[in-house]
Structure 1
Amino acid sequence: MIDDDPALCTRLQEYVAQYDIALLTCGTPSKGLTALAQHNPDLVLLDVMLPEKDGFTVCKDIREQYDTPIIMLTARGELTDKVLGLEIGADDYLAKPFEPRELVARINVLLRRGNTRTKKELKWSFLGLDIYPEHHKLVLDGQEIDITGMEFRLLRLLAGNPGRIYSRDELLNELKGMGSDVYSRSVDILLSRLRNKLKDSAQSPKYIKTIRNMGYCFVGKRL
């Protein structure tokens, strides 16, 4: 659920749990899109009035990569909004305030219908580089590159948050959280190997940049 009303999110989380529905909530589109890539949910509840950008734009962003069913939620009940939402790819539209039981019924209808739908292959495209985060696949200048599991996890972490600076300790903690036997020095080794496979360099980085006394960030140019 992508909605900036925390009280509503909490109430719905508690309500739908009794119907064996696990609801993950995000307050901004950026967090919602990240969660969508990480968790591959069965359905998205999407508010229209959001910070960063409106729900119609977010719906378009989702539809570029996913066939995941979308129910749009909004306090605006105008017919034109409903038509627009459906035209850009939403599967259903529910105006606020709504009865939670009706929402559960609509969710179940779409989930039953969604059994025949398949999710498009997710791809992150940068200049000269395509990353398929769900399929452990890396394509550099049109050629698929052999990459170890740990190298790919490191790349997926950095490229999944372009521009964010990760300290060595943060990278270490993230990789350890993936159930791996990682120690501080191995992060440097992984970064070195990853740069070699990307034909990148610390002196003139195309993808992974070292920020002195701070850490590392992904600087690939998004397409």
Structure 2
Amino acid sequence: MEQTRTILMIDDDTALTALLREYLSYEGFELDACHDGVSGLAAAKNSKYCLILLDVMMPKLNGFELLKALGGKHTTPILMLTAKGDETDKVLGLELGADDYLAKPFQHRELLARINAILRRIDIVKEHNDAQSTYHINNVNLNPACREVYCHGHAIELTGTEYQILMLLMEHCGTIVSKETISKQVMQRTLSPFDRSIDMHVSNIRRKFSPFTDDEKIKTIRGAGYLFLAGNEQ
């Protein structure tokens, strides 16, 4: 029998959390809920959760403040719940370390599909990591066995999604990887028009590399995708 997995939902909408707790229980998930940012931050540091659902607007600490407090060092994937059509919230959430976003209001089945996609890609990466050796390219070291990344000898803290994108680009070093491919293989969904999530994750990786190098590691190929440079490429 498959082990029940536990999700943490940080949202001050008690009615919504109650409905989702019942709905997700039929899908093999337990749901713990916190209704303010302070208690949510404490709970988010618990490694027992397979995923965190994080609302933006909450008392005490809002979702963005909570992400800042985590500092991008969390290993549990975070699905940000944003206001429908608010691109600013989506972009800021990704910049601060959320792995993905879903706009409210949403259908329960849409949420379940997004949860399963995130967890499926984590399982794929775990299997992939067990079979892979370390990558050493252009002064970036990525060790799948222990999920460590170094840039010019300095440890880099990446979110799960950032790590998966970097590994995919390094696997295909010297070859352009399209946004569509990244979306399908990492995000486990078809790329939607005007979806900026891939761009934001790549931007975050570059920003985390920047204190340790002026060299370009990931090149944007306009209209085509991204290219991890082998070194000395322009």
Q: TM-score normalized by structure 1? A: 0.49
Task: From the two aligned structures, give the one with the greater strand fraction.
Answer: 2
Larger radius of gyration: 1
Q: TM-score normalized by structure 2? A: 0.47
